[in-house]
């Protein structure tokens, strides 16, 4: 943001000595120091809030990852390949149910029902 190296600070100091009377210089430097300290505190507080938000976001991601791993482990634990194989074998041995034979209607019963239209 503001890049002040030693040369720039010396030039600013010389201009301040020329422009500001010597009796007001301590008060101006004290005020400048207070502003600088306040700016640093605000920057540190802002950085702390950003870091806290990042930690919370990382914590939520980690919590979501742990939950998905737990769900996957629960599904894996409930899978029983032997029981599934047993059910398939039993179903194959029993076979599909045989269709029941239909009785043909006798002609006498259809005449008793009446003429069909």
Q: What's the pLDDT tens digit per position in 52-99? A: 988 888 888 888 888 888 887 776 666 777 777 888 888 888 876 666
Q: How many residues does the chain have?
A: 117
| H/E segment holding residue 115 | none
- Residue 107's pLDDT is 54
Would you say 56 and 48 are in contact if contact means Cβ atoms under 8 Å apart? no
Q: Say what the pTM is.
A: 0.44
pLDDT tier for residue 105 given thresholds of 50, 70 and 90? low
Would you say 25 and 17 are in contact if contact means Cβ atoms under 8 Å apart? yes
pLDDT tier for residue 112 given thresholds of 50, 70 and 90? low
Would you say 26 and 35 are in contact if contact means Cβ atoms under 8 Å apart? no
How high is the mean pLDDT of the chain?
Answer: 78
Three-class SS state of 23: coil
- Residue 43's pLDDT is 92
């Amino acid at each position: 943001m503001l890049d002040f190296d030693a040369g720039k600070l010396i030039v600013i100091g010389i201009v301040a000595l020329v422009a500001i009377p010597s009796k007001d210089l301590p008060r101006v430097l004290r005020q400048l120091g207070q502003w600088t300290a306040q700016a640093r505190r605000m920057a540190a507080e802002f950085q702390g809030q950003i870091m806290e938000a990042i930690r919370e976001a990382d914590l939520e991601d980690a919590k979501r990852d742990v939950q998905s791993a737990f769900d996957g482990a629960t599904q894996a634990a409930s899978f029983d390949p032997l029981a599934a194989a047993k059910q398939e074998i039993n179903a194959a041995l029993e076979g599909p149910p045989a269709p029941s034979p239909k009785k043909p209607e006798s002609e006498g019963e259809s005449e008793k029902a009446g003429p069909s239209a």
